[in-house]
Structure 1
Amino acid sequence: MNIKEQLLSNWYPMRWFMLIVGIVLGYNYLANGAAISGLLSLIILFQAVTNTGCLLGRCSPSVDYQAKTDSDLDDVTFEEIKTH
């Protein structure tokens, strides 16, 4: 996926909400000089614009689910280890 596609596609409601929150925090930084608002604004705006981060539960890694069959268990071998 190229950068233009990433910036212009998949604008779901949570992404719009985070963009608005980032803009509001940025305004708070400019109006009041609150440094924490400026930092949070940059982080949230970056996540909203690039569609990265934990927006809408996307922070969990993708899991490749494969159906396990009984034939997979037939290939298991065990080795007995005896101690004295």
Structure 2
Amino acid sequence: MTLTAGEPGESVGSQGLAVWRMLQQAQVRITRGLEADLLVGHDLALASYDVLLRLSEASERRLRIERPGRAGAALAQRPDPSRRPSPA
């Protein structure tokens, strides 16, 4: 399998893939650590914190509830940092 980098025809070598895996693993560890700290310290899930953060930054601290279809599509496009990357 060949993965391409920034330029057309440029491939990512095994060293690049190793760096990418390390980045993903670090993101998973950080996310899990944040989730654990929020749950223990505030009984708050990371997803709930994300909603509260968005509300605090929103105009008039209000957000419009999205239709399930649109929200589901947006969630499907976001990577799940808690999911472990599968071995290559």
Normalised by the length of structure 1, the TM-score is 0.30
**Structure with greater Cα Rg:** 1
Structure number with greater CO (CA < 8 Å, separation at least 6) is 2
Normalised by the length of structure 2, the TM-score is 0.29
